[in-house]
Amino acid sequence: MAADPHTIADLSRALQARETTAEAVVERCLQRIAERNATLNAFITVFGSEAREQAREADREMAAGRRLGPLHGVPISLKDLFDVRGTATTAASRVREHHVADADAPSVAALREAGAIVIGKTNLHEFAFGTTNEDSAFGPARHPHDPNRSPGGSSGGSAASVADGMCFASMGTDTGGSIRIPSAVCGLVGLKPAFGELSTEGVVPLSGTLDHIGPICRCVEDAAILYDVLRGGGARPAGKPIDLRALRLGVARSYFMALLDPQVAAAFDAACERLRDAGATLEEVSIPHAGDVAAIYLHIVLTEAAAYHAKTLERRPEDYTPNVRIRLEMGRYVLGEDYARAMRGRELIRREVDAALEDRDALLLPALAIPAPKIGAATVRIGTVEEPVRNVMLRCTQVFNVSGHPALSLPCGSTTEGLPVGAQLVGASGDTPGLLRVARAVESIVAARAAAHAGYLGPGRSR
């Protein structure tokens, strides 16, 4: 074999051609975890013996000519919010230390039925209530490129595990950007499908109105493979690749680019220029009330999270990390009338995003305003302004949790320090397959430059 497979698509082809075995691939991933997890703290639980046994079984099945599905023999990780039968779903919290799941989450079951090998469960911001992964009962997950930096959050361990070569994909959750943010800072593709498309059953909730699940992968094709499996098949983008000269993208600038790190802005602008050079039409659009989204989001997520945690906050407050506990307590003071206002605002935002998408294939904007922040930094400097990290992290993503539109982040460049920068595409309401088709076309133009900084991304990184 000339090079280790880098993507699920490549690995699947190599396994089918008997160029490698699932056992060898799982062993390489476990070796990588053994070498690097003490530094990155990406995994909370590793299913070493189970993964090895499942890999051997996959090899036997494939040798006999049987193929369970497109993930047969592919090692993946799960954010530790997903139930796996017989194991704790810790949510990175001591609150859950005695929990044992009695069944796989339906999404996990679907992945297993397609042949996936669950290699372990990954670290996260406690109960997914944060964007840096710093507040975890298991300590912070760290960025593969620079362990002094955050891999983003809340699905930070998931992104670190994929970026560092510990597995081929991971399942994350996204309530305000928790798939797209870590994907952006780790140089990966993260898909938040349309709201309600994928079951959140068996996944620890944060906010039922805003929660989504989705994959974190190394390319758009891999994201499409996992999305199709999770939808039960038949949902992969079909038809010819999109002709870039027919592609119409709405670039959302006003609110989203008003507070943007200069290097992120430069990488995003360069990606736009490359798309224009390739023949795509880019038109400026606006979401008039985007500036109201933070207040709308806050009143929804705080209220719904507090409702879920109220009983435990009364009984075992000391079992939460201090920052997460205090933010959950804040939600107990939101008035019902303000929650109702936020829910009305949600509908307004949904309509405005629909309007921005009218006659366009997708919206294009940055995925995150800054590169990976330093762990422990309370503020970040953007130009001449010092901003709280928390205020900046959700700025480009939470609007599409509020609106429910499918959204995807993909690498579009890097900073002078080699930190990845992500762009975000947003698809029409309910049309995740359409978004994936656009993303493949955009990836073919903007991802070549992004790949140049990705030499640190673990074994098999040969693109």
Q: Is 207 a catalytic site residue? A: no
Q: Which stretch binds another protein (CB under 8 A): 21-29, 116-124, 347-355, 366-374?
A: 347-355
Least Å distance, CB 284 to another protein, is: 22
Q: Which residue reads 């698509």 in tokens?
A: 9
When asked if residue 348 is in the footprint of another protein (CB under 8 A), the reply is yes
Q: Is 162 or 287 the residue whose CB approaches another protein more closely? A: 287
Which of 119, 302, 368, 372 is in the footprint of another protein by CB under 8 A?
A: 302
Q: Is 319 or 329 the residue whose CB approaches another protein more closely? A: 329
3-state secondary structure of 450: helix
Which of 32, 121, 192, 299 is in the footprint of another protein by CB under 8 A?
A: 299
H-helix or E-strand containing 169? strand 169-174
When asked if residue 404 is in the footprint of another protein (CB under 8 A), the reply is no
One-character DSSP codes across 230-283: HHTSS-S--SSPPPGGG-EEEEE-TTTTSS--HHHHHHHHHHHHHHHHTT-EEE
What is the footprint of another protein within residues 350-389 (CB under 8 A)?
350-351
Q: Is 350 or 453 the residue whose CB approaches another protein more closely? A: 350
Least Å distance, CB 330 to another protein, is: 5
CA-atom Rg of the chain in angstroms: 21
Least Å distance, CB 277 to another protein, is: 39
When asked if residue 310 is in the footprint of another protein (CB under 8 A), the reply is no
Burial of 323: CB neighbours in 10 Å, binned 0-12, 13-18, 19+: middle
Among 12, 79, 121, 158, the active-site one is 79
When asked if residue 326 is in the footprint of another protein (CB under 8 A), the reply is yes
Among 77, 93, 107, 154, the active-site one is 154
When asked if residue 347 is in the footprint of another protein (CB under 8 A), the reply is yes
H-helix or E-strand containing 10? helix 8-16
Among 93, 155, 178, 403, the active-site one is 178
Give the residue from 32, 376, 393 showing the smallest Cα distance to 185: 393
Q: Which residues contact 259 (CB under 8 A, 6 or more apart)?
A: 369, 382, 385, 387, 392, 395
Q: Is 178 a catalytic site residue? A: yes
- Residue 184, CB-side half-sphere exposure with 13 Å CA sphere: 36
When asked if residue 333 is in the footprint of another protein (CB under 8 A), the reply is yes
Contact 181, 152 (CB under 8 A): yes
Q: Is 409 a catalytic site residue? A: no
When asked if residue 344 is in the footprint of another protein (CB under 8 A), the reply is yes
Size of the site for another protein (CB under 8 A): 25
Least Å distance, CB 163 to another protein, is: 32
Which of 249, 342, 410, 421 is in the footprint of another protein by CB under 8 A?
A: 342
Question: What mask, x for binding another protein by CB under 8 A, covers residues 254 to 293?
Answer: -----------------------------------x--x-
One-character DSSP codes across 277-328: HTT-EEEEE--TTGGGHHHHHHHHHHHHHHHHHHHHHHH-GGGS-HHHHHHH
Give the residue from 169, 163, 157, 171 showing the smallest Cα distance to 212: 171
When asked if residue 253 is in the footprint of another protein (CB under 8 A), the reply is no
Least Å distance, CB 189 to another protein, is: 32
d(CA 141, CA 151): 7
Q: Is 62 or 328 the residue whose CB approaches another protein more closely? A: 328
**Residue 208 vs residues 230, 300, 305, 327: alpha-carbon distances, Å:** 19, 9, 9, 17
H-helix or E-strand containing 45? strand 43-46
When asked if residue 316 is in the footprint of another protein (CB under 8 A), the reply is no
Q: Which residues contact 66 (CB under 8 A, 6 or more apart)?
A: none
Q: Is 208 or 291 the residue whose CB approaches another protein more closely? A: 291
- Catalytically annotated residues: 79, 154, 178
Task: Note the residues at the interface with another protein (CB under 8 A).
Answer: 289, 292, 294-296, 298-299, 302, 322, 326-327, 329-330, 333-335, 338, 341-342, 344-345, 347-348, 350-351
